[in-house]
Amino acid sequence: MAIDAELVRKVAQLAHIAEPEERLAPLAAELNGIIAWIEQLAEVDTDGVEPMTSAVAATLPLREDVVTDGGDSARVLANAPKTVDGFFVVPKVVE
């Protein structure tokens, strides 16, 4: 299916990226070019093929369910754009 400006607007919203109105059509053209090139995958017979989710055949290990770190809010907050009294400050979420 071809990507149009409206679909780009929707995808950009899902991705939380502000795209100005005038960028929607050029982006649609760019993405269509890439998706059309990707469509050649349809030629590959993948009936009965198990999707590959990991590059190596390893089972994910489980670690002990114990506290290994913590109590270090100064380091956690060190790179925050805004903090008050040991908390992250974020824009108001609920009006």
Partner 1 sequence: MSELTALTLKAALDGLKAKSFSAVEITQAHIAAVEAARPLNAFVLETPDKALDMAAASDARIARGEAGRLEGAPLGIKDLFCTEGVRSTAGSKILGNFIPPYESTVTANLFGQGAVMLGKLNMDEFAMGSSNETSAWGPVINPWKSASGGNSALTPGGSSGGSAAAVAADICLGATATDTGGSIRQPAAFTGTVGIKPTYGRCSRWGVVAFASSLDQAGPIAKTVEDAAILLTTMASHDPKDSTSLPVETPDFAPFVGKSVKGLRVGVPKEYRVDGMPAEIEKLWQDGVDWLKAAGCEIVEVSLPHTKYALPAYYIVAPAEASSNLARYDGMRYGLRAEGKNLNEVYETTRAEGFGDEVKRRILIGTYVLSAGYYDAYYLKAQKVRRRIADDFDQAWRTCDVLLTPTAPSAAFALGERMADPIAMYLNDVFTVTTNLAGLPSISVPAGLDAGGLPLGLQVIGRALDEGTVFSVAGALEKAAAFRGKAQRWW
CA–CA dist 7, 75 (Å, integer): 41
Q: Are 87 and 73 in contact (CB under 8 A)?
A: no
- Strand segments, DSSP code E, in 1-92 are 83-84, 87-88
| Tokens read off for 46 | 């993948």
Residues 21-80 that bind partner 1 (CB under 8 A): 27, 30-31, 33-35, 37-44, 46, 49-56, 58, 60-61, 63, 75-76, 78-80
DSSP tag of 21: H
Query: Shortest Cβ distance from residue 91 to partner 1 (Å)?
Result: 5
Query: Shortest Cβ distance from residue 67 to partner 1 (Å)?
Result: 15
What is the binding site for partner 1 (CB under 8 A)?
A: 3, 7-8, 11-19, 27, 30-31, 33-35, 37-44, 46, 49-56, 58, 60-61, 63, 75-76, 78-82, 88, 90-93
